[in-house]
């Protein structure tokens, strides 16, 4: 899912309803419920205090706003508080026992990306520096988008973002750091994206074990296998379901 | 081809399965000429190893003739006679370069499973659960060997299969167990468990210069075999192990203790019964009775070396005693590739003939029965080899 990733934060900002994200609502509701249950079970002054403390959380969980008496204390505007949290964010890193130049050159040839990013079908770079990406998402749903590299420093960093009109709004960067006196390279990936089916799509993906962080981790593991060992480890033929 | 498959705890079957194929450039396919049942296969047989699946092909000790090599494998050729190490290693990652072959970063396609339990994953293993990669094992007519340009060792025709087969696991495993004891001249080493790994640990301890080895078990035939390897023996059903070891070492304790038993230890003491009851009720993962005893017996500043397999979260683990005595604990899967050339040389020189441990020789069809026999230690069974 590294593939249909990469979004710019401000692109989604105006689509979001109310002041809070649904996750936060659920967190607030969940915490409130726990505190209320705890209070009810304790039948003690401490329990009662817990239950009272739960009230604002409950209010926020249901209405999406902090009650008036807390307005000055709690951050009302999550655009400010959570602007970096919109969409899905993924941060992963891996170390390879290769000089930084080898790893950078492999990654910069973005046609190579589908060789280790499992859900990516193809990437084609045009002479003008723009590229066309095709990914296969949940339920074999094909997703396509155009992207551009907007920042690159040789052997250090590559940053890209999707172009207007894409199926997925995304942005990402990968950093290459020479470590262990240059013997090894640490690759760090940062991604933000709006999944095609919004947060629900991400939730479904998580339910099926396709949490984006895990997918990026597996992609990076394959990168490491490919570059270090020269091949990606397989225990069985692809047509053997076990 | 025919293969030995796991079909649930206590249920081993020989069935026809598709022949293995080359999947990666560095692969080779080996026609298995000899394979063995390992004591650690019994942990699978008894249902102690998580992430096994019905139909998995068992076996991680095997050797044979190369019948096919991948396009990226220039080291092996068809017709080579090789022994295959049970750990799968790429040879190029940080851990392989450091000689920590069994911790290879690139050979376990299911590393995420092991990461959930251990934080980081060790190498892939043949026929030893999906957590360790889900690789089909070698108790079969043919086996696919990944990274075959770095793992398998060619063996000379002057040596028989029976002499070299155990380079695949138990000889190097017993040897590393002894090496982990940092043996110095004059040292006394105590070895719990006189199964195949224990037997090799005993002999390796002497090869590495130990003055005395004390072997602990309860089966007369195993103690007798240990004695043939010059070990002093101790039957734990007859004496108190801790008292006896203290007595025999002048109140000092053995310089190093080797737990060649692992997670299914038997014992006669209260803690051993406690482990038995707890594991039978699924309240504990392992039965670490021997490990507790080894820690209790070891001299101050000594080493406890653990070639025996452990799988989970140990109950009543006496870390306080280990701390109080400043012990060193060493353990882990064997770094196979590190030992193959030197141990093959030792066999060639006649320092050791590993075939001494074999008690049963059977065909693939007999494998299910032999799992039972080996598990029950019936018929004085110590080591089973299978010639497909």
Q: Which domains does chain B have, with CATH numbers?
A: 2-169+334-386 (3.90.180.10), 173-331 (3.40.50.720)
Q: Do B31 and B141 form a contact (C-beta atoms < 8 A)?
A: yes
Q: Is the CB of residue B72 less than 8 Å away from at least one CB of chain A? A: yes
Name every chain B residue with its beta carbon within 8 A of the beta carbon of A237: 21, 23
CB-based contact A233 B106, cutoff 8 Å: yes
Q: Which residues contact A47 (CB under 8 A, 6 or more apart)?
A: A38, A39, A40, A41
Q: Is the pLDDT of residue B54 over 90?
A: yes
DSSP state of A85: G
Q: Which residues numbered 176-205 in B keep a CB inside 8 Å of some CB on A? A: none
Q: For residue B56, name the pLDDT band (cuts at 50, 70, 90).
A: very high
Rg over alpha carbons for chain B, rounded to the nearest Å, is 20
pLDDT of residue A70: 43
Q: Is the pLDDT of residue B224 over 60?
A: yes
* Rounded Cα–Cα distance for residues B13 and B158 (Å): 34
Q: Which of B118, B86, B117, B123 is nearest to B104 (CA)?
A: B123
DSSP element (H, E) containing B201: helix B196-207
CB-based contact A234 B21, cutoff 8 Å: no
Q: How far is A225 from chain B (nearest CA, A)?
A: 5
CB-based contact A242 B105, cutoff 8 Å: no
In the three-class reduction of DSSP (H, G, I as helix; E, B as strand; rest coil), residue B113 is classed as helix
Q: How far is CA B130 from CA A234, A241, B211, B338, in A?
A: 12, 13, 42, 25
pLDDT in tens, A174-224: 999 999 999 999 999 998 877 665 555 555 455 444 677 888 999 999 999
Beta bridge partners of B56: B6
pLDDT in tens, B267-325: 878 888 778 777 777 777 778 899 999 999 999 999 999 999 888 788 889 999 999 99
DSSP state of A226: I
A109: its two tokens:
């040839």
CB-based contact A229 B136, cutoff 8 Å: no
pLDDT of residue A15: 36
Q: Do B225 and B194 form a contact (C-beta atoms < 8 A)?
A: yes
* Rounded Cα–Cα distance for residues A183 and A181 (Å): 6
Name every chain B residue with its beta carbon within 8 A of the beta carbon of A99: none
Residue B349: is it exposed, middle or buried by C-beta count within 10 angstroms (0-12/13-18/19+)? exposed
DSSP state of B351: S
**Nearest Cβ partner of B93 from A228, A231, A232?**
A228
A-B C-beta contacts closer than 8 Å: 66
pLDDT of residue A197: 59
Q: Which residues contact A126 (CB under 8 A, 6 or more apart)?
A: A132
Q: Do A52 and A23 form a contact (C-beta atoms < 8 A)?
A: no
Q: Do A84 and A72 form a contact (C-beta atoms < 8 A)?
A: no
pLDDT of residue B194: 97
* Rounded Cα–Cα distance for residues B286 and B198 (Å): 19
pLDDT in tens, B358-385: 999 999 999 999 999 999 999 999 999 9
pLDDT of residue B281: 72
Q: Which residue has the higher pLDDT, B203 or A138?
A: B203
Backbone angles phi, psi at A29, to 5 degrees: -60, -45
pLDDT of residue A29: 52
- How many other CB atoms are there within 10 angstroms of residue B331's CB atom? 15
Q: How many CA atoms lie within 13 A of A153 on its CB side?
A: 7
Q: Is the pLDDT of residue A97 over 90?
A: yes
Q: Is the pLDDT of residue A14 over 50?
A: no
CB-based contact A229 B97, cutoff 8 Å: no
Residue ranges in B51-120 assigned as alpha helix (H) = 94-97, 111-118
CB-based contact A231 B26, cutoff 8 Å: yes
Q: How far apart are the first and last CA of chain A?
A: 23
Using a pLDDT cut of 90, give the percent of chain B over it: 89
Q: Is the dihedral of CA B237, B46, B127, B123 positive or negative?
A: negative
Quickly tell me which residue has 């080894």 as its tokens.
Answer: B294
DSSP state of B193: -
Question: What's chain B's length in residues?
Answer: 388
* Rounded Cα–Cα distance for residues B182 and B208 (Å): 9
CB-based contact B23 A237, cutoff 8 Å: yes
CB-based contact A235 B136, cutoff 8 Å: yes
* Rounded Cα–Cα distance for residues B266 and B195 (Å): 13
Q: Which of A221, A231, A219 is nearest to A1 (CA)?
A: A219
Residue B289: is it exposed, middle or buried by C-beta count within 10 angstroms (0-12/13-18/19+)? buried
Q: Which residue has the higher pLDDT, B326 or B263?
A: B326
Report chain B's mean pLDDT, rounded to a whole number: 95
CB-based contact B136 A233, cutoff 8 Å: no
Q: Which residues numbered 140-179 in B keep a CB inside 8 Å of some CB on A? A: 146-147
Q: Is the CB of residue B110 less than 8 Å away from at least one CB of chain A? A: yes
Q: How far is A96 from chain B (nearest CA, A)?
A: 8
Q: Is the pLDDT of residue A5 over 50?
A: no
CB-based contact B109 A234, cutoff 8 Å: yes
Name every chain B residue with its beta carbon within 8 A of the beta carbon of A235: 109-110, 124, 133-136
Kindly provide the residue ranges of all beta strands, DSSP E only, lying in chain A, ordered along the sequence: 88-96, 120-125, 130-136, 142-153, 157-162, 169-179, 184-194
**Nearest Cβ partner of B134 from A184, A225, A242?**
A242
CB-based contact B134 A228, cutoff 8 Å: no
Name every chain A residue with its beta carbon within 8 A of the beta carbon of B140: none
- How many other CB atoms are there within 10 angstroms of residue B246's CB atom? 16
pLDDT in tens, B92-116: 999 999 999 999 999 999 999 999 8
pLDDT of residue A145: 86
Return the residue of B nearest to A95 by Cα.
B94
CB-based contact A184 B124, cutoff 8 Å: no
**Nearest Cβ partner of B106 from A214, A224, A237?**
A224
Report chain A's mean pLDDT, rounded to a whole number: 71
Q: For residue A232, name the pLDDT band (cuts at 50, 70, 90).
A: very high
Q: How many CA atoms lie within 13 A of B381 on its CB side?
A: 20
Query: What's the rounded mean pLDDT across residues B136-164?
Result: 98
Q: Which residues of A touch B (CB under 8 A)?
A: 95, 97, 184, 214, 217-218, 221, 224-225, 228-237, 242
In the three-class reduction of DSSP (H, G, I as helix; E, B as strand; rest coil), residue A161 is classed as strand
Q: How far is CA B309 from CA B39, B159, B261, in A?
A: 10, 30, 8
């Amino acid at each position: 899912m590294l593939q249909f990733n990469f979004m710019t934060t401000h692109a989604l900002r105006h689509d979001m309803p109310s002041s809070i994200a649904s996750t936060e609502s659920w967190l607030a509701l969940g915490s409130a419920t726990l505190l209320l249950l705890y209070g009810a079970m304790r039948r003690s002054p401490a329990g009662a205090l817990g239950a009272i403390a739960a009230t604002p959380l409950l209010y926020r969980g249901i209405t999406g706003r902090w009650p008036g008496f807390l307005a000055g204390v709690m951050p009302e505007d999550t655009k400010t508080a959570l602007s970096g949290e919109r969409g899905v964010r993924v941060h992963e890193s891996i170390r390879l026992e290769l000089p930084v130049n080898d790893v950078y050159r492999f990654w910069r040839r973005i046609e190579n990306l589908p060789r280790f990013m499992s859900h990516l079908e193809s990437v084609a770079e045009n002479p003008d520096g723009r590229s066309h990406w095709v990914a296969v998402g949940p339920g074999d749903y094909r997703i396509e988008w155009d992207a551009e590299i907007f920042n690159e420093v040789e052997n250090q960093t590559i940053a890209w973002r999707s172009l207007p009109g894409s199926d997925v709004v995304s942005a990402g960067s990968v950093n290459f750091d020479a470590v262990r006196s240059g013997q090894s390279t640490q690759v760090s990936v940062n991604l933000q994206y709006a999944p095609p089916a919004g947060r629900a799509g991400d939730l479904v993906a998580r339910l099926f074990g396709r949490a984006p962080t895990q997918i990026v981790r597996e992609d990076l593991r394959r990168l490491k296998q490919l570059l270090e060992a020269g091949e990606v480890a397989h225990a069985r033929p692809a047509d053997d379901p076990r | 081809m025919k293969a030995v498959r796991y079909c649930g705890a206590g249920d081993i079957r020989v069935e026809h399965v598709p022949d293995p194929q080359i999947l990666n450039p560095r692969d080779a396919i080996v026609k298995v000429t000899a394979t063995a049942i390992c004591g650690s296969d019994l942990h699978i047989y008894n249902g102690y190893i998580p992430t096994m699946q019905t139909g998995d092909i068992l076996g991680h000790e095997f050797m044979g003739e190369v019948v096919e090599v991948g396009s990226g494998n220039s080291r092996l050729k068809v017709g080579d006679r090789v022994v295959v190490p049970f750990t799968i290693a790429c040879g190029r990652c940080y851990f392989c370069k450091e000689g920590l072959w069994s911790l290879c970063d690139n050979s376990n396609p299911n590393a995420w499973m092991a990461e959930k339990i251990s934080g980081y994953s060790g190498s892939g293993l043949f026929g030893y659960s999906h957590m360790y990669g889900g690789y089909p094992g070698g108790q079969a007519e043919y086996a696919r060997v990944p990274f075959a340009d770095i793992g398998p060792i060619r063996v000379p025709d002057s040596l028989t299969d029976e002499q070299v087969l155990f380079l695949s696991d138990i000889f190097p495993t017993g040897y590393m167990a002894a090496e982990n004891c940092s043996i110095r001249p004059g040292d006394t080493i105590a070895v719990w468990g006189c199964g195949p790994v224990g037997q090799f640990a005993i002999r390796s301890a002497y090869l590495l210069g130990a003055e005395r080895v004390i072997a602990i078990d309860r089966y007369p035939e195993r103690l007798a075999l240990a004695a043939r390897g010059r070990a002093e023996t101790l039957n734990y059903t007859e004496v108190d192990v801790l008292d006896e070891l203290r007595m025999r070492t002048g109140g000092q304790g053995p310089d190093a203790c080797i737990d060649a038993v692992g997670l299914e230890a038997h014992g006669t003491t209260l803690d051993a019964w406690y482990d038995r009851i707890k594991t039978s009720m699924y309240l504990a993962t392992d039965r670490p009775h021997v490990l507790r005893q080894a820690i209790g017996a070891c001299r101050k500043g000594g080493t406890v070396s653990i070639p025996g397999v452990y799988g989970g979260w140990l109950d009543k683990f006496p870390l306080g005693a280990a701390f109080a005595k400043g012990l060193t604990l060493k353990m882990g899967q064997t770094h196979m590739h590190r030992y193959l050339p030197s141990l093959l040389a030792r066999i060639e020189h006649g320092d050791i003939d590993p075939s001494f441990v074999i008690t049963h020789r059977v065909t693939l069809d007999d494998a299910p029965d032999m799992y039972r026999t080996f598990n029950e230690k019936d018929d004085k069974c110590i080591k089973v080899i299978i010639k497909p």
